[in-house]
Amino acid sequence: MTVIGRSADRVCVIDRRDTRHCLKFMLPSGQRARAGLRRRMQRWRAGRAPQRDENHAELRAWLQLSARLSPQDLQPHLATVLGMYRTAYGQALCCERVTLPDGAPAPSLSMLLLGASDYPAASLCAAVDQFEQWLLRHRIPLFDVHAGNLLVVGDEPGPRLVCVDVRPLARVGRIARMPGWFGATARRRIRRWAQRLRQQIRAALPA
């Protein structure tokens, strides 16, 4: 299997049955990264009830979003979650891949910040602006996204950010996820997160 991503608890590979898709597997306990008390407790709970693991958390967050927003609203900035699949290697969460026109995996924003970027800071900051306004317009309380989970797709007139992990929504309080709730606190947190991301971009890349 071709690995295209790895986190503390999961590994993401290209689905050999359909290379437009990827499969996210939970890592065996012995292969997971060291973690603090909070994450260790999450792992312990998931071990006792698999429906509490990271894959199921992401699926629940996606289902909540897709229940109130159309695919046309979600697709520009979120990778589509297709569901839980059973494979020869165990259960996996299947998602649509985010790729470049030549089929290669789209780079993450964190990779570009390490110096592999063909985009100036201004272009990537504009992409953050676009993503921020999309979150606010659709009332999505997604304000804890790591740059490694934001992939950069080259569009006209500039790059576009696509989030490939909506698990942070599962960590937001139940009230904050309700369609009718989206107050000043959520807007402020989104704006603070976006501002920090723009600062990281400007510090890492030439204007």
pLDDT tens digits, 139-192:
998 888 899 999 999 877 889 999 999 988 876 655 444 555 567 888 999 999
pLDDT above 60: residue 92: yes
Spatial CB neighbours of 154, under 8 Å, sequence gap ≥ 6: 100, 101, 160
Where do the structural domains in the chain lie, given as residue ranges?
A: 3-204
Distance (Å, rounded) from C-alpha 207 to C-alpha 204? 10
pTM for the whole structure: 0.86
Distance (Å, rounded) from C-alpha 87 to C-alpha 56? 16
**pLDDT tens-digit map of 46-76:** 555 567 688 998 999 999 999 999 999 999 9
Q: What is the pLDDT of residue 183?
A: 77
Strands 150-154 and 159-163: antiparallel
DSSP state of 112: I
Distance (Å, rounded) from C-alpha 177 to C-alpha 191? 18
CB 169 within 8 A of CB 178: no
186: Cα separation from own chain's centroid: 18
